Amino acid sequence: MKIAAIGTPEKLEELNSILSTVELSYTRLESTKNIHTGGYDFVFDLNFDDCIAGIEDYLLLPDSTFIFLSGVKLQIEAVLPKKLWQNTVVINAMRSFLKRSSIEFATLSDRFDASVFLTMGWKDSNRVESRLGLVSPRIVCMIINEAFFTVQEGTAGKEDIDKGMKLGTAYPYGPFEWCDMIGIKDVYETLNALYNDTHDERYKICSSLKTAYLKSLSAS
């Protein structure tokens, strides 16, 4: 099984933590340039919803190569040529999610056999509808946004909210812990994409979350 992957060091490390459990490895690629010459069975593009510049290169891949694209902050069908739909799998590659024992994914055709995920090291897979935000990112980012509103209104502090959510709902992390793990950039940009797409007030971004996002940009 020949695997290639493109992504940030953090995301690639999460991918490696799963693949290594079944003694698989991947070839790290800096870009999609000449990707069609590698003879890969599977390609993970963990940066796709931040950079879609490699689409033309993916068109050169053989039909036997499956492409796993991060697709939380955009609607894949809106940007991906239909020719690629049959061998594309949309995944939730936000930080902290990829290394879980279960992977969330959506397909654009019925061609993909989800048992592939078992051979790669994931113990379970969860097929969801292909839509902007998928399922888990929508819910988690919305919870984080509500937590920012709660602090902004003076109802509770960040530490108390984190403790309360873990103790009261058995969440693995509190909202602010989750925000730190995912990264404020991805949280903000996911919520922003969801709000622009749906105009649903549930995704309207808390002003203090937006301020934290803007501060993170100036610090980087």
pLDDT at residue number 220? 66
> What are the pLDDT digits (tens) for 191-213?
999 999 999 999 999 999 999 99
Question: Strand runs (DSSP E) across 13-109, as ranges?
Answer: 27-28, 42-45, 66-70, 88-91, 102-107
Instruction: Answer yes or no: is pLDDT of 88 > 80.
Output: yes
116 in the same domain as 150: no
8 in the same domain as 104: yes
CATH number, domain at 68?
3.40.50.720
Q: Which of 110, 127, 144 is the last residue of a domain?
A: 127
Q: Of 102, 97, 96, nearest to 120 (Cα)?
A: 102
Q: Are 12 and 5 in contact (CB under 8 A)?
A: yes
CATH number, domain at 215?
1.10.1040.50
Instruction: Answer yes or no: is pLDDT of 166 > 90.
Output: no
Distance CA 140, CA 144 (A): 6
Residue 154 neighbours by CB under 8 Å, 6+ apart: none
Distance CA 142, CA 162 (A): 15
Mean pLDDT over each residue of the chain, to the nearest integer: 94
Number of domains the chain is built from = 2
72 in the same domain as 98: yes
> What are the pLDDT digits (tens) for 30-70?
999 999 999 999 999 999 999 998 899 999 999 999 999 99
119 in the same domain as 92: yes
pLDDT at residue number 86? 94
Distance CA 151, CA 49 (A): 30
Compute how many other C-beta atoms are within 10 angstroms of the C-beta atom of residue 186. Answer: 21
Rounded to two decimals, what is the model's pTM?
0.92
Question: Strand runs (DSSP E) across 95-213, as ranges?
Answer: 102-107, 124-127
| Three-point CA angle 193, 194, 197, nearest 5° | 85
- Domain around 35: 3-127
Q: Of 146, 140, 155, nearest to 206 (Cα)?
A: 146
Q: Are 133 and 193 in contact (CB under 8 A)?
A: yes
206 in the same domain as 166: yes
184 in the same domain as 117: no
Instruction: Answer yes or no: is pLDDT of 168 > 90.
Output: no
162 in the same domain as 113: no
95 in the same domain as 19: yes
114 in the same domain as 40: yes
143 in the same domain as 106: no
Q: Which of 96, 127, 158 is the last residue of a domain?
A: 127
Residue 163 carries which DSSP code?
H
pLDDT at residue number 148? 96
Please state, in angstroms and as integers, the Cα–Cα distance from residue 148 to each residue in 20, 99, 153, 195, 207, following that order: 37, 26, 9, 16, 8
Q: Which of 127, 148, 172 is the last residue of a domain?
A: 127
Kindly indicate the confidence band of residue 8, based on its pLDDT and cuts at 50, 70 and 90: very high
Tokens coding 37? 């010459």
> What are the pLDDT digits (tens) for 92-136?
999 999 999 999 999 999 999 999 999 999 999 999 999 999 999
